[in-house]
Amino acid sequence: MSLSDPMLYAYLLVILAGFLPTDVFRFAAVLFARRLDEDSEVLVLVRAVATALLAGVIARLVLFPTGDLAGVPLWIRLSTIAVGVAGYFLFRKSVLAGVVVAEIVIVGGAIYFR
Amino acid sequence: MRAGIFSVQGIVLFAGFIGFGGLIRDVGFPLGAALLSTILVWALPAQLLIVGGFAAGSPAPVIALAVGLSSVRFFPIVASLMPMIRGKSGLGTQLYASHFIAVSAWVESIRLIPALPVYARMPFFLGLSNLFLWGSVATTIVGYLLAGTLPQALANGLVFLTPISFLLQLVRNARDLVDRLALVFGLALTPVFAQFGGSLDLLWIGAIAGGAAYAIGRWRRART
């Protein structure tokens, strides 16, 4: 096998371009957090940044989907989010209930409106 | 075990890896390398970048850069969780455990771990996250075998599981004003930064939305 072998190349890609650039941040964070207390002030900020980042990831998946989901109209994707959040609160803050009603809307919407 | 298998997070995580398994078959990425990526990278967005880059023929350094940018988000995630779970464990154990921290394990741990005694947190975390990781390896294989057999609308529903469940779990986990503001600001800023932020937009969203939420929370506390 040589480097130009696409199969071997895929494995090298996973290790050099996937594992290394990901775990370097995990390890750096462990070293950074070593001197921090569980309820230190900095962690409130760090947690807020982590929450906002994740909110950004979620909003991107809904607003700018790649792949097949892009074929489902934006208003259906946004309605799905609204129905999911409403369902969560209506069913006494049940995440599962919110997810189920949202899934009904998105699958139904994909059948009738795409 | 129960916490892992029956959590919405577990179900959604596995659904995401079924989608990943379907994708790799679609682009001709070898199954073994994909399973290795689940074990070694353990971050679905980064794994999608690897597979997408492989399929597009992008140069390896470009893929590595994109993966690095997407994985910067682990810095606040790991830094906020590790002080909660580490107990008296040594640096080696902490570095080992940090590899298993991904968004799914973070969301579940932030919710469940404060109720546990300190000595039990690290074992609980390692048990839960190993269950998640090996379950994901298995479901990657399932997705690979299932690929192409799902009708389009169901496939769309599968893809949508990730954003809706993560969102509702963030809503549930938001315990105070800072958390709620960070969530709302992060969502609201995304369309803005998608236009102007370039490839670093997620980092800008995290820093600005998270920073503003923290500043407002601090200001409110100072007044009361």
The secondary structure of B133-182, three-state, reads HHHHHHHHHHHHHHCCCCCHHHHHHHHHHHHHHHHHHHHHHCCCHHHHHH
Report the pLDDT value the prediction gives residue A3, as an integer from 0 to 100: 57
Tell me whether B130 touches chain A (CB under 8 Å).
Answer: no
- Closest residue in chain A to residue B201, using alpha carbons only: A56
Report the pLDDT value the prediction gives residue A72, as an integer from 0 to 100: 92
A1, pLDDT greater than 50: no
- A8 contacts on B by Cβ (under 8 Å): none
Q: How far apart are CA A34 and CA B91, in angstroms?
A: 8
Q: Which helix (H) or strand (E) holds B72?
A: none
Domain residues of chain B, as ranges? 2-173, 175-224
Q: What is the mean pLDDT of residues B107-118?
A: 88
Q: How far apart are CA A100 and CA B35, in angstroms?
A: 29
Tell me whether B150 touches chain A (CB under 8 Å).
Answer: no
B197, pLDDT greater than 70: no
Nearest to A56 among B29, B164, B186 (CB): B186
Cα B221–Cα B223–Cα B224 angle in degrees, nearest 5: 70
**Do the chains contact at B165 and A95, CB–CB below 8 Å?**
yes
B213, pLDDT greater than 90: yes
Most confident of A91-95, B35-39, B41-45, B56-60: B35-39
Tell me which residues of chain B, numbers 166 to 205, contact chain A at a CB-CB cutoff of 8 Å. 166-172, 174, 178-179, 181-187, 189-191, 193-194, 201-203, 205
Report the pLDDT value the prediction gives residue A2, as an integer from 0 to 100: 53
Report the pLDDT value the prediction gives residue A74, as an integer from 0 to 100: 95
Cα B132–Cα B95–Cα B39 angle in degrees, nearest 5: 35
**Do the chains contact at B60 and A16, CB–CB below 8 Å?**
yes
Do residues B170 and B178 make contact, with C-beta atoms less than 8 angstroms apart? no
A94-108, B146-160, B170-184: least confident range: B146-160
Report the pLDDT value the prediction gives residue B6, as an integer from 0 to 100: 60
The minimum CA-CA distance between A57 and chain B, rounded to whole Å, is: 7
Percent of chain B with pLDDT over 90: 39
Percent of chain B with pLDDT over 70: 96
Interface mutation target, options B20, B29, B80, B171, chain A, most CBs of A under 10 Å: B80
**Do the chains contact at A22 and B43, CB–CB below 8 Å?**
yes
Nearest to A72 among B99, B156, B213 (CB): B156
Report the pLDDT value the prediction gives residue A103, as an integer from 0 to 100: 92
- Closest residue in chain B to residue A53, using alpha carbons only: B206
- How far CA B35 is from CA of B45, B102, B134, B139, in Å, comes to 15, 16, 10, 10
**Do the chains contact at A56 and B206, CB–CB below 8 Å?**
yes
Q: What is the mean pLDDT of residues B97-114?
A: 88
How far is C-alpha B122 from the chain's CA centre? 19
- A99 contacts on B by Cβ (under 8 Å): 8, 12, 161, 164-165, 168
Closest residue by Cα to residue A57 from B180, B50, B170, B9: B170
**Do the chains contact at B168 and A85, CB–CB below 8 Å?**
yes
**Do the chains contact at A84 and B167, CB–CB below 8 Å?**
yes
A14-18, A77-81, A96-100: least confident range: A96-100
Tell me whether B161 touches chain A (CB under 8 Å).
Answer: yes
B115, pLDDT greater than 60: yes
Q: How far apart are CA B117 and CA B121, in angstroms?
A: 7
